């Protein structure tokens, strides 16, 4: 077996051995072309509108994450969401795990897409929908901040669309990348090998991408091994990715295009370590707190955790269809997720013999989902021959299936579910001089089917009658932009988002006493005969967002700021179940208010600085509406904590390019300390409630240094957590089931990449 360090060095040497003639002047010309296209793309967005549209004609806050920002982040870490945490104001800190628990956008869950295909299931969100491809195949990321129904269900916080690379120059192009990472511990080595092949000849183009990443164990700033995340760790794991895409342009002027792509990504734990729980501060039980750590070992009979995502995506566009642009997008996606073994109370069953050496049952959760969809869209400019009047209309169809099992004991945990939706929509926009006014409506007509099932022993072995639930909603949006002049513009927007409440959680958590007069807050009736139709928490999540903002673009600088209020009469937030100490979904009214800014300044040809700032505050109720009608939901008096709303964030990036061949980038990310508190009294029974939460802030620095070798590619040094700071992740500072994790300490990476 080749050691990772040996393999990485060997590949660097082999790639460097290509003759100088492999990179010609044509490569330099290609770079200029690519930079020009990137500049043009900076002003265009396709997410939410299906066909390209100028950013300054779309009301709302939009963040475009460029290819260069992605590449620079990859020099520091392979974490798929790290670039979002550094560049998107309202995006929370990266979890540094296989799971994206706590990674919200503006305090709510975002809809993640890969080339327009949803990467999660609204039926059972396992918080694994952010790690689905090698980021080396991604050219840019479009982020629609705030609730949106434009791409379907699940966008309560907004939309994050990862767009794959596309050939831009004639001929063949190879991109080879190798990376070696270490924290200078015996088991901390990691490496990556990747190759992208791009071909464009006349009207045909294709992309082939393959990569493999081996990650070693990670250590915190104190030199202590990090704990293995209970929802899946990227430490001690292997990931492989294959991506294929081909397209052809045809028609009299090449106005038609047919494109098909295939993607298969899998990240899997190696199973060489087990978690050792730390302890939070307690004056008696833990006067000297320590975070979770890991030791070598394997839990008896367990299987490796993994994310396994596969999809096929076919897109047809016609730029001259009934005097407009028509597009048809058909896709299929299959997702399988396995989680690490646990022996919590909800895994136990007296009828099943213990499989663990400690006399308890260890089991592993598996979520499987597959979806297929068809999206039809048509955009017509100059509607009714009116200059500036544009119509965008279409219809989306999707069928999503999901279930969840306890794999080692072959038990059903969440029954098979199927959601079918058909959603027609229409959007009008009108450019009147310096103004753009837009408005639209989307009609969601969905149906949820759930099979009969029986809950686990921990949930009283309840037989639940399946059934069909209807979800019908009209979702509207309205906005306006005023291009004031001098580079300034202002916007105001109202939009609605629609989602399902992570259906699997309320289905699996049914637990009711036999006394019909007793009713639990989860909405489950006390009568032993339980039906899916009786589960109160299956109501949809409707979010309304009001926002105002300003933008300015100058010759060497730009600036944007927005203020928003996001409300839901029956929203979702995370809480800790006192019985299991695990996360549960809490349904109650929510209101989130936020202010964010972003800007950049190129003050010389060599120096440039970027910055983002975000402040978010959320409130919910201490209790939800009583299904029996005895009392309503509480007032908005409970602060939403770090599990939902991240602390204030400041991120800065300073770039220095002393010569054309060299670049240095220094980045910093600061999460500020925060203290939250709230209380309430319920009139119905005099019950008192209170909540307090304090999180300590921290600042991390990252550094990259790159040098382009003459005709032989680029070599880069990346250092994550430059000062080797010891810190606890913000969302992990809130008590929960085995969730006391520190963040990564200093990580050093050496990258070599060459294009020929």
Residue 226 φ/ψ, nearest 5 degrees: -75, 150
Closest CA to 330 of 367, 289, 376: 376
For residue 294, what is the domain's CATH number?
2.40.170.20
What are the tens digits of pLDDT across the range 187-216? 999 999 999 999 999 999 999 999 999 999
Residue 15 is predicted with a pLDDT of 35
E strands present in 658-739: 662-671, 674-681, 688-695, 698-708, 714-720
Residue 31 φ/ψ, nearest 5 degrees: -60, -40
* pLDDT of 621 over the 60 cut: yes
E strands present in 183-323: 190-201, 204-215, 237-250, 256-269, 273-276, 293-296, 306-321
* pLDDT of 5 over the 50 cut: no
What are the tens digits of pLDDT across the range 688-697? 999 999 999 9
- According to DSSP, the β-strands at 158-164 and 111-114 are parallel
Give the residue-averaged pLDDT of 476-498. Answer: 95
What are the tens digits of pLDDT across the range 242-281? 999 999 999 999 999 999 999 999 999 998 998 899 999 8
Closest CA to 362 of 403, 409, 405: 409
- Find residue 163's DSSP bridge partners: 140
Distance separating alpha carbons of residues 212 and 368, to the nearest angstrom: 24
Closest CA to 665 of 647, 645, 651: 651
As a whole number, the mean pLDDT across the chain is: 88
Query: What share of the chain in percent tops pLDDT 70?
Result: 91
Distance separating alpha carbons of residues 317 and 320, to the nearest angstrom: 9
Residue 52 is predicted with a pLDDT of 82
Burial environment of residue 171 by CB neighbours within 10 A (0 to 12, 13 to 18, 19 or more): exposed
Residue 23 is predicted with a pLDDT of 33
Structural domain range at position 120? 4-755
Residue 125 is predicted with a pLDDT of 84
* pLDDT of 571 over the 90 cut: no
What are the tens digits of pLDDT across the range 292-335? 999 999 888 888 899 999 999 999 999 999 999 999 999 999 99
Distance separating alpha carbons of residues 532 and 470, to the nearest angstrom: 12
Give the residue-averaged pLDDT of 339-359. Answer: 90
Give the residue-averaged pLDDT of 284-297. Answer: 92
Residue 3 is predicted with a pLDDT of 43
Residue 10 is predicted with a pLDDT of 36
Distance separating alpha carbons of residues 610 and 668, to the nearest angstrom: 11
The number of folded domains in the chain is 1
What are the tens digits of pLDDT across the range 505-556? 888 888 654 444 444 434 444 455 678 887 877 888 999 999 999 999 999 9
Residue 582 is predicted with a pLDDT of 63
* pLDDT of 678 over the 70 cut: yes
- According to DSSP, the β-strands at 688-695 and 674-681 are antiparallel
Residue 270 is predicted with a pLDDT of 92
Tell me 509's DSSP state. T
* pLDDT of 60 over the 90 cut: no
What are the tens digits of pLDDT across the range 412-464? 999 999 999 999 999 999 999 999 999 999 999 999 999 999 999 998 888 89
Give the residue-averaged pLDDT of 609-627. Answer: 94
- Residues whose CB is less than 8 angstroms from the CB of residue 195 and which lie 6 or more positions away in sequence, other chains included: 174, 175, 176, 177, 209, 210, 211
pLDDT category of residue 557 using cuts at 50, 70 and 90: very high
- Tokens found for residue 281: 């501060």
* pLDDT of 33 over the 50 cut: no
Query: What share of the chain in percent tops pLDDT 90?
Result: 71
Residue 303 is predicted with a pLDDT of 87
Distance separating alpha carbons of residues 460 and 716, to the nearest angstrom: 57
Give the residue-averaged pLDDT of 213-227. Answer: 96
């Amino acid at each position: 077996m080749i050691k990772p360090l040996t393999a990485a060095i060997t590949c660097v040497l082999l790639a460097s051995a290509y003759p100088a003639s492999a990179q010609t002047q044509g490569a330099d010309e290609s770079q200029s072309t690519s930079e020009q296209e990137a500049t043009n793309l900076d002003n265009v967005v396709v997410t939410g509108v299906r066909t390209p549209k100028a950013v300054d004609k779309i009301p709302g806050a939009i963040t475009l994450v460029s290819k260069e920002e992605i590449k620079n982040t990859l020099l520091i870490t392979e974490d798929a969401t790290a670039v979002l945490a550094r560049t998107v104001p309202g995006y929370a800190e990266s979890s540094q795990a296989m799971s994206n628990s706590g990674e919200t956008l503006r305090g709510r869950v975002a809809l993640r897409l890969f080339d327009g295909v949803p990467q999660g299931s609204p039926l059972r969100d396992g918080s694994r929908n952010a790690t689905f491809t090698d980021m080396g195949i991604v050219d840019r990321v479009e982020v629609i901040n705030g609730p949106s129904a434009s791409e379907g269900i699940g966008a309560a916080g907004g939309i994050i669309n990862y767009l794959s690379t596309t050939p831009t120059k004639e001929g063949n192009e190879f991109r080879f990348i190798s990376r070696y990472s270490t924290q200078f511990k015996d088991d901390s080595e990691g490496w990556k090998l990747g190759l992208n092949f791009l071909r464009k000849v006349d009207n045909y183009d294709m992309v082939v991408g393959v990569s493999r990443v081996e990650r070693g164990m990670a250590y915190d700033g104190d030199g202590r091994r990090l704990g293995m995340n209970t929802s899946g760790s990227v430490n001690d794991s292997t990931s492989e990715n294959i991506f294929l895409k081909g397209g052809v342009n045809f028609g009299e002027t090449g106005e038609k295009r047919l494109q098909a792509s295939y993607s298969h990504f899998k990240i899997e734990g190696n199973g060489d370590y087990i978690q050792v729980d730390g302890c939070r501060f307690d004056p008696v039980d833990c006067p000297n707190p320590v975070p979770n750590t890991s030791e070598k070992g394997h839990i008896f009979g367990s299987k490796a955790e993994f994310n396994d995502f596969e999809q096929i995506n076919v897109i047809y566009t016609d730029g001259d269809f009934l005097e407009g642009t028509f597009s048809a997008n058909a896709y299929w996606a299959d997702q399988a997720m396995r989680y690490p073994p646990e022996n919590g109370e909800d895994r136990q069953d007296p009828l099943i013999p213990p499989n663990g050496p400690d006399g308890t049952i260890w089991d592993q959760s598996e979520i499987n989902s597959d979806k297929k969809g068809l999206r039809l869209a048509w955009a017509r400019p100059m509607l009714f021959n009116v200059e500036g009047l544009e119509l965008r209309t279409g219809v989306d169809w999707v069928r999503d299936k999901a279930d969840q099992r306890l794999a080692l004991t072959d038990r059903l945990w969440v029954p098979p579910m199927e959601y079918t939706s058909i959603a027609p929509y229409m959007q009008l926009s009108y450019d009147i001089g310096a103004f753009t006014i837009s408005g639209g409506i989307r009609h969601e007509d969905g149906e949820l089917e759930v099979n009969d099932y029986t809950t686990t022993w921990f949930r009283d072995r309840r037989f639940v009658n399946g059934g069909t639930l209807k979800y019908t909603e009209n979702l509207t949006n309205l906005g306006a932009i005023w291009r004031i002049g001098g580079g300034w513009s202002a916007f105001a927007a109202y939009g609605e988002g629609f989602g399902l409440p992570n259906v699997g959680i309320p289905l699996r958590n049914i637990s009711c006493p036999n006394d019909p007069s007793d009713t639990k807050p989860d909405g489950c009736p006390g009568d032993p005969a339980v039906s899916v139709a009786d589960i109160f928490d299956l109501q949809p999540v409707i979010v309304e967002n009001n926002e105002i903002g300003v933008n300015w673009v100058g010759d060497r600088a730009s600036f944007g700021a927005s203020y928003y209020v996001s409300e839901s009469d029956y929203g979702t937030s995370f809480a800790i179940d006192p019985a299991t100490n695990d996360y549960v979904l809490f349904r109650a009214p929510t209101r989130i208010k936020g202010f964010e800014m972003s800007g950049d300044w190129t003050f010389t040809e060599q120096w440039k600085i970027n910055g983002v700032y975000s402040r978010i505050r959320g409130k919910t109720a201490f209790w939800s509406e009583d299904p029996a009608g005895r009392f309503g939901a509480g007032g908005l008096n409970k602060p939403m904590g770090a599990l939902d709303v991240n602390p204030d964030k400041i991120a800065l990036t300073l770039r220095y390019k002393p010569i054309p061949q060299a670049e240095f980038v220094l980045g910093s990310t600061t999460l500020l300390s925060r203290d939250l508190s709230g209380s309430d009294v319920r009139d119905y029974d005099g019950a008192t409630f209170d909540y307090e939460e304090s999180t300590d802030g921290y600042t991390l620095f990252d550094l990259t240094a790159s040098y382009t070798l003459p005709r032989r590619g680029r070599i880069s040094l990346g250092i994550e957590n430059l000062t080797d700071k010891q810190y606890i992740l913000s969302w992990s500072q809130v008590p929960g089931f085995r969730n006391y994790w520190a963040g990564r300490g200093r990580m050093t990476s050496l990258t070599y990449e060459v294009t020929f």
